[in-house]
Structure 1
Amino acid sequence: MSQKQKKGLIPLICLLISAGFFCLAYLIPRDNFWLTFAIYCVLFAGMLAVYLLSKQAKWQLIFVGGLLIRLSLVLAIPQWSDDYPRFLWDGEMVKMCENPYLETPENWLQSNPEATNPYLENLLDLMNSPAYFSVYPPINQGIFYLAAAIGSQDVLKGIVLLRSVLIFGEIGIFFLLLRLFGYFKRSLEKLSLYWLNPLVIMEITGNLHFEGLVLLLLLASLLALCKQKTGLSGAFWGMAIGMKLLPLMLISSFFSFGKSRKSKSFWIGSALALIVSFAWLLINNSWIPFLQSLKLYQGKFEFNASIYYLIREVGFWIQGYNIIGELTPILSGITLVGILYFSWKRKPENPLQLVDLWVMIYLLYLILQPVVHPWYLIPGFGLSLFTNKKAFLIWTFAVIFSYQAYGDPNYQESSVFLFLEYTLLAIAIYWDYFRSSTKFLLTK
C-alpha cells in the first residue's frame, strides 16, 4: 500500500470512529454493556490504526477528524453519567444568588417552596446526590453559572454550553500537546492517542467531566515551566487544584524539582491562584459543608477499586463487616508516604523527568483509591504521553470493563471484569516499571 493510500485511510477510519460514538451517544443505552464493549473495542482499534498510519499524515488532518467527532456529540444527553443535573442545579443556585454549599438540593426545595419550579424539580429527579452538599470547587461553580445563565432553564441548552466549554478546553489540550511534543522532541503521532482516544472523548465531551480542564491547566503549567515563566507555571498549577483538588498531590514533586523549589515567583503565583480559587469558600463558612462532603465521599463510596477491594475482603474475613471507615485513611496515608518517597528519591532534574514523576504519582494514587471512576484516568494518561510508559494507555482500554456495572439492575460490580481490568493494568505496570531494562527508573 502506498503512502498516499495509507493517508487516505485516515479520514475513513475517523468516519468509522464518529459513527461508533454516534451510536454510543444517541442510540445505545448504558445498560447494554456487551454492545457498548464491542463498539468501544472498535473505537480503540480505530485509534491505534490512525496512530500507526499517522506518520503519513499531517497533524491538521488528525485534529479536524477528532474535532468533528466531538462536534457530532454536541446535542447528546450524557448516557453513562448522571453528574450533569448537579452541575446545572449548582449553576441555578449561583444564578439565584444562593450558596450551593450551604444546603442540599432536597433541603433547599423544602425550605424554598415559593422558588420551586418544574425545571428544578426535574433536575432533582435526575440527580444522583440530592441529599449531599456540593463537592465542586468555586471555579467549577463559575462554569455551572455560565451554563445556567445562558441555558435559560433548558436542560439541553445547559448541556450544550457545558460541552462547548469542554470542547474548547480539549482544543487547548491538543495545541499544548503539539507545542510540548515539539519542545520535548516527541513523535507527533502520539497526538492521535489522546485526540482519538475513546475514553477521553466519551468522558469529557460525552459525559461532561472536567478532568480535561485539569489536564489543560497542568499542561499550561508545564509549558510555562519549560519557558522559565515560573510564576505563571505556579498560577496554572494553582488553578488546576481549584478545578479538581487532586493536583495538590503534586506539591512534593515541585519541592523536589530545583527550578520550582527555588523559585519564589512559582510559589507566589500558586498561592495567588489558590486564594482566588478558594476564597469564596470563606463566605458563610462554606468550607465546612464542602469538606464534610469530601470526607463523606472518601469514607463511604466504592467503585472500580483494586488494592482496596483486596484488603477489604480480608477485613470482611477478620472483622465481619466492611472496614471502609478504617481502611480509607490508612490507604490515604500509604499514598501520601509513597508520593513523598518517590518525589524525594527521584529528584527530577528537568521538566521531562518531572512529568514522569507526575505520571507515577497519579498511578500510585489511583491504584490505592476506593473509588476510581474512568474519567479519573485522563490527567495521568495525557501526561504519560510524554514518557515511554504504557500503563495509562492500556488502562484507558481496560477501564471499559468497569462499565459492566451499569448493565446490572443493582449496579453490582463483577469480580471477573475487575480481575480482567486490573490484570491488564498489572501487566502494563510490570512492563513499565519492573522489567530489567526499566527497573532502574524506580530508583533514579
Structure 2
Amino acid sequence: MRNPARRLLILLIVLLMTAGFIFLGYFIPRENFWQTLLVFTLLFGGMIGIYFLSIKPKWGWVFVAGLLFRYALLPSIPNWSDDYSRFLWDGELVKMSENPYLETPEEWLQNHPESLNSYLENLFEGMNSPQYFSVYPPLNQVIFYVAAWGGNLNQGSGIVIIRIILILGEIGVFFLLLKLFDHFGFPANRFILYWLNPLVILEITGNLHFEGLVLLLLLASLYALNKNRSGLSGGFWGLSIGMKLLPLMLVPTFFSFAKTGRSNLFWIGSGIAVIAGFIWLLIDNSWIHFFQSLKLYQGKFEFNASIYYLLREIGFWVKGYNIIGELTPILSGVALIGILYVTWKKKPQNLLQLVDLWVLIYLIYLVLQPVVHPWYLIPAFGLSLFTDKKAFLIWTFAVIFSYQAYGDPTYQEKPIFLFSEYTLLFLAVYWDYFRNMDNLNKLSNGS
C-alpha cells in the first residue's frame, strides 16, 4: 500500500463501488435484471480488484470502505425482498403483547378489527405470505419487537433499526474474521472477500436478512472453542440455531470432533441456549403453527434449485405432475445421509478441518434443496474463507442469475440462467473437491 498510484486506484474503485450500491439500492428496480446484473458484476469485479491490489492492507481502511457501502443503503427500502413487511408486522403484534404464532395475518385482520390501523394495513398489503403462520424463531421476534418499538408506526424507521442491528452484527463478523485469520496465519487481505462482497452487503444490509447474525454466532462459537471455552462455544452455536434452524445440521460434526464430542460443558451450553431460544414456542402451543409453516414452506415453494429441478422434470415425464410433495422429503433424507457420511469419513482433528467439514455440509444441503435464496449462501461463504475452497465465493457471484425471475412478469425462471449459475458452481465444486482426486488416480495408475 506504499505505492501512491495503487492507493489512488483503490480509492477510485471504492468510490465507484459506493455509487454502484447506491444505484442498486435506490434507482434500479429488481425487475430490471440486465441493469442489476451489470452493476452487480462491476461491484464483484471491484471487490476482486481491491483484493489483488491490497496485498498487505491495513484493516482500518478496509473496515471504513465496507461501512461506507453499508451506510449508503441505510435509509433505502429493501429492493430484492419484501420479507421486511412480515418482520415489522410480527414486531407490531409482539408490541401489542399478542402472540405472532397464533394467527395468520389474514386471520388477525378478520379477528381484531378494533386494533387495525393504516400502518398495519400497509404492512399487510406488502406481505408475500399472509396466509401462513410466522416462520421466524423467537430470537428473530425480539429484533422485530425492537424495530416496532423504536419505529413507532413508521416503516422507514423500523427498517433502519433492523438494518443498524444487522450492521452491528456485521461489524462483529469483521473483527472475528480479523482475529481468527491472524491466529491461523491467513493472508491479511482475505477478509476483503467477505467485507466488501456485494452479495453480503446487498442481502444483509440491503434486504435485511439474518444470515449475517448466524455467521456471527458460528464464528463466535469457533473463536470460543479456539480459546478452550467449550461451554461458551456451545452457547453461541445454540444461539445460531435459535436465529435460523439450519446450523442444527452441524450436530454430527460436534459429536465427531474430540474437543466437543466429549465435552459436557459444550453440550450443556448449547442445550441452555437452544432452550432459551425456543422455550417461548411452548406458550399457547405456538410450536404447532411454527412447524406447520416450516413444513408447508419445505413442501410447496421452489426457487433457484439445481438437482431438485432435474428430478422434478423426471417426475413430470414419468407421473405427469409436480412431485414436490414426494421429492422434498426424499432429498432431505439424502442430505441427512450425506451429512452423516462425510462427517464419519472426514473425522475432523482440528478446528480448520472442522470448518472445512461445515462448508461441505452446507454445500450438500443447498444443492439438494428446492429453495435456494441468495442469502442462504452467506454463512457457508464466510466459513469457506477458512479453507482453500472457492465454490461459495464463485457462487456469491453466480447466484445473481437467480434474480432473472424478478424481471419476468410471471416470475418464471429461465433455464439458461439456472444453467449458467450452476455450471459455474459445479465447475468450482469439481475444482475444489475432485480435481486432486483425479490427479491422484492418474498418479496411481501411472505407477
Q: TM class, shorter-chain normalised?
A: over 0.9
Which residue of structure 1 lines up, in the alignment, with residue 146 of structure 2?
146
Which residue of structure 1 lines up, in the alignment, with residue 445 of structure 2?
none
Q: Secondary structure at the match of 2:55?
A: helix
| Residues 351 and 56 of structure 1: CA distance in aligned 2, closer, same or farther (over 3 Å) | closer
Deviations 1:396-424 (A, max 9, x none): 00000000000000100010000000000
Which residue of structure 2 lines up, in the alignment, with residue 176 of structure 1?
176
Question: TM-score w.r.t. structure 1 length?
Answer: 0.98
Q: 1:34-45 alignment to 2 at 5 Å?
A: 34-45=34-45
Query: Quick check: 1:222 aligned with 2:247?
Result: no
AA at the equivalent of 1:393: L
| Residues 2 and 282 of structure 1: CA distance in aligned 2, closer, same or farther (over 3 Å) | closer
Contact 1:390/1:428 (CA < 8 Å) preserved in 2? Answer: yes
Q: Secondary structure at the match of 2:107?
A: helix
C-alpha distance in structure 1 between counterparts of 2:418 and 2:160, whole Å: 33
C-alpha distance in structure 1 between counterparts of 2:97 and 2:234, whole Å: 31
Q: 1:147-166 alignment to 2 at 5 Å?
A: 147-166=147-166
AA at the equivalent of 2:138: P
Contact 2:135/2:290 (CA < 8 Å) preserved in 1? Answer: yes
Which residue of structure 2 lines up, in the alignment, with residue 84 of structure 1?
84
AA at the equivalent of 2:200: V
Which residue of structure 2 lines up, in the alignment, with residue 203 of structure 1?
203
Instruction: Give the length in aligned residue pairs.
Output: 440
For structure 1, which runs of at least 5 residues remain unmatched after alignment?
none
Contact 1:359/1:384 (CA < 8 Å) preserved in 2? Answer: yes
Which residue of structure 2 lines up, in the alignment, with residue 282 of structure 1?
282
| Residues 438 and 356 of structure 1: CA distance in aligned 2, closer, same or farther (over 3 Å) | farther
C-alpha distance in structure 2 between counterparts of 1:142 and 1:269, whole Å: 21
C-alpha distance in structure 1 between counterparts of 2:168 and 2:274, whole Å: 23
Which residue of structure 1 lines up, in the alignment, with residue 96 of structure 2?
96
Which residue of structure 1 lines up, in the alignment, with residue 132 of structure 2?
132
Contact 1:11/1:65 (CA < 8 Å) preserved in 2? Answer: no
| Residues 437 and 185 of structure 1: CA distance in aligned 2, closer, same or farther (over 3 Å) | farther
Give how far 1:59 is off: 1.3
Q: 1:357-376 alignment to 2 at 5 Å?
A: 357-376=357-376
Deviations 1:374-395 (A, max 9, x none): 0000000000001000000000
Which residue of structure 2 lines up, in the alignment, with residue 60 of structure 1?
60
AA at the equivalent of 1:9: L
Contact 1:3/1:56 (CA < 8 Å) preserved in 2? Answer: no
Give how far 1:254 is off: 0.4
Give how far 1:57 is off: 2.8
C-alpha distance in structure 1 between counterparts of 2:28 and 2:45, whole Å: 20
Contact 2:56/2:189 (CA < 8 Å) preserved in 1? Answer: no
Percent identity over paired residues: 68
Which residue of structure 1 lines up, in the alignment, with residue 272 of structure 2?
272
Which residue of structure 2 lines up, in the alignment, with residue 110 of structure 1?
110
C-alpha distance in structure 2 between counterparts of 1:276 and 1:104, whole Å: 25
AA at the equivalent of 2:408: D
For structure 2, which runs of at least 5 residues remain unmatched after alignment?
441-447
C-alpha distance in structure 2 between counterparts of 1:178 and 1:336, whole Å: 33
Deviations 1:142-171 (A, max 9, x none): 000000000001000000000000000000
Which residue of structure 2 lines up, in the alignment, with residue 333 of structure 1?
333
RMSD: 1.1
Contact 2:57/2:188 (CA < 8 Å) preserved in 1? Answer: no
Contact 2:236/2:270 (CA < 8 Å) preserved in 1? Answer: yes
C-alpha distance in structure 1 between counterparts of 2:26 and 2:4, whole Å: 34
Contact 2:166/2:205 (CA < 8 Å) preserved in 1? Answer: yes
Deviations 1:83-103 (A, max 9, x none): 000000000000001000010
Contact 1:7/1:56 (CA < 8 Å) preserved in 2? Answer: no
Q: 1:348-387 alignment to 2 at 5 Å?
A: 348-387=348-387
AA at the equivalent of 2:135: V
Query: Quick check: 1:186 aligned with 2:208?
Result: no
C-alpha distance in structure 1 between counterparts of 2:384 and 2:349, whole Å: 18
C-alpha distance in structure 2 between counterparts of 1:7 and 1:36, whole Å: 28
AA at the equivalent of 2:162: L
Question: TM-score w.r.t. structure 2 length?
Answer: 0.97
